[in-house]
Amino acid sequence: MKGQRYIWIERRLYPSLRMEVLAAILSILLALLAIGVLFGVVGVDPLFVYRRIFMGAFGSLFGLSETIVKAIPLMLVGVGLTLAFRARMWNIGAEGQLLMGAIAATGVALTFPDLPAGVLLPAMFVAGFVGGALWGLIPALLKVYFRANEVLTSLMLVYVASEAVNYLVYGPWRGPEEMGFPLTSKFSPAAQLPRLLNTRIHYLTLLLALLLAVLVYLLVRRTRLGYEIRVTGENPTAARYAGMDYTKIVLLVMLLSGGLA
């Protein structure tokens, strides 16, 4: 009608770096606020809880080093999930891919304990990547050929991978010197990652996680494949119309996502 004014809300096609940083900070603050409300409802001082959490994670050199130890695998998994989520592949099974990668790497370490570290460690990294990649490929194949929902299939495969770990550590891989506990034999020194000073930080995997974060960013933002991944995620129909191979992109993304996990 005449005289009426309309407000249109549209998504930014290319948000600035400043907007992305502010959005991340605001998301964290809102999450802390929401959790703080829940703490308050049950009668716990949220400021006390947050202070204890912060001091435990960053209040000492030991706490900081252990935080980094826990963060390294999460960083690697997060990098892989970022790639999958860009293609709108909801990979909920990264934990299972991590476990299958661990099984593959452990198999190399236990089978070839006498190899030199310069050969054994790279072989373990490659085996871990392949194990996770193949496990991530299963829900991708089910999606593109049978239209199975990858949220369900990738999640269910986590339990399969977990049971595979249990079978191995309670069965054929249980170390005879571990006094009946469900543990494998200790890896040979050549199969153990070097640590930073007197901490448990494996600096090779820390550097690898940081490097892969940069490489994945460049892949998504600066390459043709990254462009195809983004277009496929935003509009699969438009991607197919433009001649992009949807099946190839989905399979490749899940291979990389599972391998990085």
Instruction: Give me the residues paired with residue 202 across strands.
Output: 195
Which residue type occupies 230? R
CB 258, CB 97: distance < 8 Å: yes
Q: What is the pLDDT of residue 3?
A: 63
Residues 239, 255, single domain; the answer is yes
Q: Tokens 């089910």 belong to which residue?
A: 142
Q: Which two tokens stand for residue 2?
A: 């005449």
Of the three residues 8, 33, 59, the one that is the final residue of a domain is 59
User: Which of 236, 208, 227 has the alpha carbon at shortest distance from 73?
Assistant: 208
Q: What is the pLDDT of residue 118?
A: 95
Q: What is the pLDDT of residue 179?
A: 84
Q: How many CB atoms lie within 10 A of CB 167?
A: 12
Q: What is the pLDDT of residue 163?
A: 97
Domain containing 41 equals 16-59
CB 154, CB 143: distance < 8 Å: no
Q: What is the pLDDT of residue 1?
A: 56
Has residue 242 been placed in a domain? yes
Residues 148, 34, single domain; the answer is no
Q: CA 47, CA 193: separation in Å to the nearest integer? A: 38
Q: What is the mean pLDDT of each run of 10 residues along the chain (261 residues)?
A: 74 80 94 95 93 93 94 94 92 96 97 95 97 97 94 96 96 90 93 92 94 94 91 84 88 96 92
Has residue 5 been placed in a domain? no
Q: What is the pLDDT of residue 111?
A: 95
> How many structural domains are present in the chain?
2
Report the predicted TM-score, pTM, of the whole model to 2 decimal places: 0.86
Q: CA 205, CA 76: separation in Å to the nearest integer? A: 9
Has residue 10 been placed in a domain? no
Q: What is the pLDDT of residue 38?
A: 95
Residues 30, 84, single domain; the answer is no
Q: What is the pLDDT of residue 248?
A: 92
